[in-house]
């Protein structure tokens, strides 16, 4: 049976965003209940040289939308990374999920051996489709979702493993 590249990406990203949206709502409720300024959570970091919570959500969004775009050759929506509130982060998640939902299965399936180039300011990486998904796109996405979760846990938000897993 052939790998269904779509099934390894789009539904996985959508599920991750469902969990992330839910734990951001728990964070907002926790902040409101305990008199914590939202900005204190949105700018919290695990470590001084790591990006804050808002950036972690933005990077998870980028990881998913660029993966779908690179695999399908469908241009992703522009998102300027200006989100500074829980509402704006939720809107970013919703816009990313909407884009993912718009990418047809047939644009991704069968692209396991397609050339994928990832350009950074300092270098370029070459992958085949499946290697890109397994070796970069999914690990990168989960790094940012996990880091966002960890920031909120560190800040006292009452999250557990089932929150991260999306309440299976």
pLDDT digits (tens, 9 = 90+) for 9-34: 999 999 999 999 999 999 999 999 99
Percent of the chain at pLDDT exceeding 90:
94
Give the integer Cα–Cα distance in Å for 165 and 15. 8
Instruction: Look at residues 144, 57, 42 and name the one whose alpha carbon lies nearest to residue 97.
Output: 57
Give the integer Cα–Cα distance in Å for 120 and 96. 21
* CATH class assigned to 13-165: mainly alpha
Give the integer Cα–Cα distance in Å for 98 and 78. 13
Which residues, 6 or more positions from 112, have their beta carbon under 8 angstroms from its beta carbon?
Answer: 2, 3, 5, 128, 129, 130
**Average pLDDT of span 47-60:** 97
pLDDT score of 168: 62
**Average pLDDT of span 46-67:** 97
- Asked if residues 59 and 163 have their Cβ atoms less than 8 Å apart, the reply is no
**Average pLDDT of span 152-161:** 96
Q: Where are the alpha helices (DSSP H) in the chain?
A: 5-34, 38-42, 53-72, 86-102, 105-108, 129-132, 138-154, 161-165
Q: What is the pTM of this model?
A: 0.95
**Average pLDDT of span 114-128:** 94
């Amino acid at each position: 049976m052939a790998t269904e590249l779509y099934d390894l990406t789009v539904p996985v990203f959508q599920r991750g965003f469902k969990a992330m949206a839910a734990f951001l709502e728990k964070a907002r409720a926790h902040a409101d209940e305990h008199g914590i300024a939202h900005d204190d959570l949105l700018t919290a970091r695990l470590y001084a040289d790591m990006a804050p919570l808002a950036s972690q959500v933005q990077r998870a969004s980028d990881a998913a939308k660029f993966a779908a775009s690179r695999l399908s050759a469908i241009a992703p929506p522009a998102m300027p990374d200006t989100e500074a509130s829980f509402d704006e982060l939720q809107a970013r998640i919703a816009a990313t999920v909407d884009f993912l939902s718009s990418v047809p299965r047939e644009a991704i399936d069968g692209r396991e051996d397609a050339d994928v180039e990832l350009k950074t300011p300092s270098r370029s990486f070459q992958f085949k489709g499946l290697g890109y998904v397994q070796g970069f796109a999914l690990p990168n996405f989960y790094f940012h979702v996990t880091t966002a979760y960890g920031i909120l846990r560190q800040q006292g938000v009452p999250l557990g493993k089932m929150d991260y897993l999306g309440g299976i």
